[in-house]
Amino acid sequence: MDTHILPDAIEPTYWNVVFHPSETRLNRILLGRFQHVSAFTYVPGFRAWLMYDAQWRGTRLLVVSERALEAYIGYMRDCAIVKFDRADRHPALPDRLVFFGFYCVPAIKSLLGLSCVAATPDALYRHLINNGGILLNGIDHSSSTAAAAARSNVAAGTATGTG
């Protein structure tokens, strides 16, 4: 497959990767701490949030205005959110082969330009944290006050580089 060069445009340089917790004990045993991963970023030129979510029933790409963001905050409740700078490189061949089973993890790896062996949301979480990802909020916070502050920063856009 040929690579096509796209014209210059506003392209996010970072993404906030959302790790959705496993909801049942069985999912925690089978899948790990997280059962799904999605991403969002802020596009200042449009004053809107761009949300990317690859699910079994299809890929969703949403543009959400600053005013409508409150509706999506609940979707991210109790999630770990990791800010990660997008790499500007092409995935290696083994990463391209994963597209045979295109699900949330390879979709986010492709979005971020990553070439790693992570196949589960937990493995991707560890990879991002170990490679410069910044935990904005989530399960790992030692104090609930710090988690609440990070959550409000994400909602306001200040922790994600928009403030």
pTM: 0.75
Q: Strand, helix or coil at 98? A: helix
CB 77 within 8 A of CB 19: no
HSE value, Cβ hemisphere, 13 Å, CA-based, for 25: 0
Residues 6+ apart with CB under 8 A from 77: none
Dump pLDDT digits (tens) for 109-119. Answer: 989 998 888 99
Say how far apart CA 56 and CA 35 lie, in whole Å: 12
Alpha-helix residue ranges (DSSP H) falling in 32-69: none
Dump pLDDT digits (tens) for 8-21. Answer: 677 888 999 999 99
Query: What per-residue confidence (pLDDT) applies to 77?
Result: 84
Q: Strand, helix or coil at 158? A: coil
